Structure 1
């Protein structure tokens, strides 16, 4: 069985874009649900911040383990196939 190799820059770029996307989407949704929206975006502290980090980690774990890669890994074709 051969393994497909992916360029390191694709993996790194996908990770950075996934972080930015997750921060914006998950962060904004939690801020909206908890009333933490501000004029310049959102500010999460305490419980909402903890929930954000749990969901952020969950996004990466679930996406990579069960969905075949995160959103940007799949877009940039940075998923290693075995």
Structure 2
């Protein structure tokens, strides 16, 4: 009997519309959740949500950048990538 390794197929790339929609939903998710949390911690909440300026706004944009970097480069996909089952190549 021969011991041959199982054949692994490369996953097919996801449709472009899925990638675009996932990126937009990721941005809005992190923006609104992160913005509200930062607003609540810094006292910048309003009756309509939150209003950030100065360093809290910079912290929010840094969190958005880190979210996309860690999600795509380190974890193999962001929240909405996983919901839409978009496979990302793992870094070597």
- Rounded to whole Å, the distance in 2 between the matches of 1:66 and 1:13 is 21
Structure number with greater CO (CA < 8 Å, separation at least 6) is 1
For the 8 Å contact 1:4–1:80, the answer to whether it is kept is no
Other-structure match for 1:31: 39
For the 8 Å contact 2:11–2:87, the answer to whether it is kept is no
Q: TM-score normalized by structure 1?
A: 0.91
Asked if 1:20 is matched to 2:28, the reply is yes
Structure 2 counterparts to residues 1-82 of structure 1, below 5 A: 2=10, 4-81=12-89
Compute the RMSD of aligned alpha carbons: 1.5
Q: Mind listing any 5+ residue stretches in structure 2 that lack a counterpart?
A: 1-8
What is the number of residues matched between the two proteins? 82
Q: TM-score normalized by structure 2?
A: 0.82
1:11/1:3 CA distance change after superposition, 3 Å: same
Q: Which has the larger radius of gyration?
A: 2
Structure number with the higher helix fraction is: 1
